[in-house]
């Protein structure tokens, strides 16, 4: 998959980014894809580029020659740099893609918010695999039920309530106010994922976070995001990602 920029908004020396992530899931790579798409950046989704994509990713991952080896996907190649860890990639891209403030305090603030998204992603994943990722969901069903109950009872209200508060303080529609940053895209993705995995619970919960829902809708309407979501570049949700739907966990 190659996404070529139609604009020259990045200036005369636009970078061609290479994103390395699993080709069949949104996963953590999706937070990076959304940033690249919103910015109209030139990028290659390497592992989705035909049969040789995944081997190319694994080769890089197993290479002992990389100066700064990634521990796991996603990672980004930007010129000579190889950058891993989702939030770290976004920290790097934010400045370059116009999706983060330029001053230090602002950069640290959006990164801090992104790291709270990182924490939330682990919690979402662990609702369906609380005990171990080395057993099927069906083998840890009672634990998943309990974990999911507490996740919705305690963690979702607290974390999403925090983002709702940030939006109230900024005045919205985005976390920084009128200016979009990469965390807005990630928060959009969290809403999408929770709607997929927990449609009933999320429907009830959304009434409590109207500003987050409004942010979600604004992001979805942005022309490049709308085009991306409608394209084949957007991988569908599935039972293999962070967000999985199990009827008995959603009531």
Selected from 1, 83, 194, 215, the binder of its own copies by CB under 8 A is 83
Q: Cα–Cα distance between 187 and 179 in angstroms, integer?
A: 15
Q: Cα–Cα distance between 46 and 17 in angstroms, integer?
A: 10
Closer residue to its own copies (CB): 2 or 81: 81
What's the 3-state SS for 92-160?
HHHHHCCCCCCCHHHHHHHHHHHHHHHHHHHHHHHHHCCCCCCCCHHHHHHHHHHHHHHHHHHHHHHHH
Q: Cα–Cα distance between 52 and 186 in angstroms, integer?
A: 29
Closer residue to its own copies (CB): 27 or 40: 27
Q: Which of 9, 12, 82, 73 is nearest to 41 (CA)?
A: 9
CA atoms within 13 A on the CB side of 210: 3
Closer residue to its own copies (CB): 133 or 238: 133
Under the binding rule (CB under 8 A), the answer on residue 58 touching its own copies is no
Under the binding rule (CB under 8 A), the answer on residue 111 touching its own copies is yes
- Spatial neighbors of 93 by CB under 8 A, at least 6 apart, are 17, 32, 35, 36, 39, 41, 76, 99, 182
Q: Which of 207, 212, 194, 195 is nearest to 113 (CA)?
A: 212
Q: Which of residues 126-155 bind its own copies (CB under 8 A)?
A: 126, 130-135, 140, 143, 146-147, 150, 154
CB of 200 to its own copies, least distance (A): 21
Under the binding rule (CB under 8 A), the answer on residue 112 touching its own copies is yes
Selected from 5, 14, 15, 92, the binder of its own copies by CB under 8 A is 92
Selected from 8, 12, 68, 251, the binder of its own copies by CB under 8 A is 68
**Sole window of 38-46, 87-95, 191-199, 220-228 interacting with its own copies (rule: CB under 8 A):** 87-95
Under the binding rule (CB under 8 A), the answer on residue 169 touching its own copies is yes
**Sole window of 6-14, 19-27, 50-58, 104-112 interacting with its own copies (rule: CB under 8 A):** 104-112
Residues that bind its own copies (CB under 8 A): 64, 67-71, 81, 83-85, 87-88, 91-92, 105, 108-109, 111-112, 115-116, 118-119, 122, 126, 130-135, 140, 143, 146-147, 150, 154, 159, 162, 165-166, 169
């Amino acid at each position: 998959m190659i996404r070529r920029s139609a604009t020259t908004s990045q200036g005369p020396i636009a970078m061609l980014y290479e994103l390395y992530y699993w080709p069949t899931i949104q996963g953590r790579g999706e937070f990076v894809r959304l940033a690249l798409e919103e910015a109209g950046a030139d990028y290659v989704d390497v592992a989705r580029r035909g049969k040789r994509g995944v081997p190319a990713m694994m080769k890089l991952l197993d290479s002992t020659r990389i100066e700064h080896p990634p521990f796991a996907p996603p990672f980004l190649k930007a010129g000579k740099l190889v950058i891993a860890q989702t939030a770290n990639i976004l920290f790097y891209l934010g400045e370059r893609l116009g999706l983060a403030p330029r001053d230090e305090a602002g950069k640290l603030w959006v990164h801090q918010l992104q790291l709270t998204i990182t924490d939330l992603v682990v919690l979402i994943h662990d609702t369906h695999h609380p005990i171990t990722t080395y057993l099927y969901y069906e083998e840890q069903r009672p634990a998943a039920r309990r974990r999911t109950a507490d996740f919705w009872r305690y963690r979702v209200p607290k974390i999403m309530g925090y983002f709702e508060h940030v939006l109230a303080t900024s005045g919205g529609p985005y976390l920084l106010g009128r200016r979009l940053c990469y965390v807005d895209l990630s928060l959009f993705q969290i809403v999408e994922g929770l709607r997929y995995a927990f449609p009933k619970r999320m429907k009830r919960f959304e009434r409590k976070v109207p500003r987050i829902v409004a942010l979600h809708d604004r992001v979805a309407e942005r022309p490049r995001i709308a085009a991306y979501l409608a394209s084949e570049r957007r991988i569908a949700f599935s039972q293999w990602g962070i967000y999985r739907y199990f009827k008995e966990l959603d009531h």
